[in-house]
Structure 1
Amino acid sequence: MGTSTTGRRSAARERLLETARQVFYARGINGISVDEVIASADVSRATFYRHFPGKDDLVRAYLQEEDRSIRERVDGAAKAAANPSEVLHLLVLGLDEQICGAGFRGCPFINAAAEYPDPAHPVREVVAEHRTWFINAVTELVTAIGHPNPERAARAVVMLRDGAMVGGYLDDPKATGDSLAHAVDAVTRNPS
């Protein structure tokens, strides 16, 4: 992903992605111009366009990096845990830490979807790919836990996560995290 045509990592592309991650998350995607990203990343306009044909391509790459990072954290939790219940517990703890963290502004995927209302837009395709993966990952965990209706329980867990991402930004983050843990426990332990 972060390689040039010669196969070496491009420092300029990495700076563009890191700058995009910071400013898009803090200020919104549509509120940031390409010129602001270029200036903040300290690259030339030609360098930007060598790596990204347009702003939407940068937005897609930013979200793909967020997706990659989340997948790595989920994989890390799976490797650190003794069983699927513990993996789910670690995921909830990770969400709690995230929503209580400094500068938290909600889910970058939900935020991007709000700024790109057309479900057929390429940015929304990245959002949809991430959500599909996440729902499937949670479904696998809930199935492994032995829930009698894993698809329904997984969708409830994802909905609770979405609500916690919004609630953590708008309300008391600690109370939101506590509520998320309680609700996920209730959904995954109660088969009704």
Structure 2
Amino acid sequence: MAVLEALTTVNLVPAIQRAPAKGRILDTANVLFYEDGIRNVGVDRIISASSVTKATFYKHYRAKDNLIVEYITHRHATVRANLEAIIASSPNAEIALREFIAAVIAEIDRPGFRGCPFINAAAEFPQSDHPVRKVVTAHREWYVDTLAELLRSMGHPVPGDAADELLLARDGALAGGYAGDSVAASAALGRIANRVLAESVGH
């Protein structure tokens, strides 16, 4: 997929005020890092695809590592904004969780799907103390806490454990949906979600 075409399909949160050139660099990295892998995409390719000069790139980011951390941080902000929007628009916790599962399944079906960007990034940066891994860890902790709070609102007897199950089911569906049978992966995620939600008190 061409970068400019892909940029029109990426679901980004409303931009924080940032320089147009810096925004183009981040938006380009958001596509290329996800499509081709973070380590496979060099600075020169990002500079060319985002139509900026080398001096402009280094003025804003100084090094590729800084762009990588901003990329994965921006991905987290996007996921968080999307889930918070689902929660805000849902009349209750159960509907919010079902909408969350539906959004994951829709992601698996999206053209250009390449699996979970956070798991992909963690695989490329195995050192647990690397800044990228710290963002991934914080992202997953936020995810579990958010899902647990929704499950607690439903009266689930062990919301923390159930949140872990849902997140791991999501991980498996994203991995299986990319590497294997996307229909089977989505169906399995739906079955697990139904079982977890059915465990809630008064369901």
Task: Give the alignment's TM-score, normalised by structure 1.
Answer: 0.93
Moved more, 125-134 or 86-95: 125-134
Contact 1:21 1:62 in 2 (8 A): yes
- In the alignment, which residue of structure 2 is the partner of 1:22? 31
Q: Structure 1 stretches (4+) deviating beyond 2 angstroms?
A: none
Amino acid in structure 1 at the alignment position of 2:40: G
Tell me how far apart the structure 2 counterparts of residues 186 and 180 of structure 1 sit (CA, whole Å).
10
Is the Cα contact below 8 Å between 1:2 and 1:13 reproduced in 2? Answer: no
Q: Map 1:26-105; keep pairs closer than 5 Å.
A: 26-105=35-114
Distance (Å, rounded) in 2 between the aligned partners of 1:189 and 1:115: 37
Point out the more displaced range, 100-109 or 171-180: 171-180
What does 1:1-192 align with in structure 2 at a 5 Å threshold?
A: 9-190=18-199
Cα distance in 2, alignment partners of residues 42 and 133 from structure 1: 35
Displacement of 1:103 in angstroms is 0.6
Aligned-pair distance for 1:114?
Answer: 0.1
The residue aligned with 2:7 is none
Task: Find the residue that maps to 2:79 and give its secondary structure.
Answer: helix
1:138 & 1:38 partners in 2: Cα distance?
A: 38
**Paired position in structure 1 for 2:11:** none
Q: CA deviation at 1:175?
A: 2.3
For 2:159, give the aligned amino acid. P
User: How much does 1:2 deviate?
Assistant: 6.4
Aligned-partner Cα distance in 2 for 1:53–1:38: 13
Shift of 1:188: 2.8
Q: Secondary structure at the match of 1:112?
A: helix
What secondary structure does 2:52 align onto?
coil
1:15 and 1:188 map into 2 onto residues whose CA distance is 41
1: CA distance, partners of 2:192 / 2:15 = 39
Q: How many Å separate the matches in 1 of 2:34 and 2:18?
A: 24
Distance in 2, matches of 1:135 and 1:79, equals 18
Structure 2 gap ranges (5+): 1-13
Aligned equivalents of 1:2, 1:52: Cα separation in 2? 17
Distance in 1 between residues matched to 2:133 and 2:18, nearest whole Å: 27
Sequence identity, in percent? 37
TM-superposed CA distance for 1:165, in Å, is 0.9
Contact kept? 2:157, 2:199, Cα under 8 Å: no
Give distance in 1, aligned partners of 2:56 and 2:15. 14
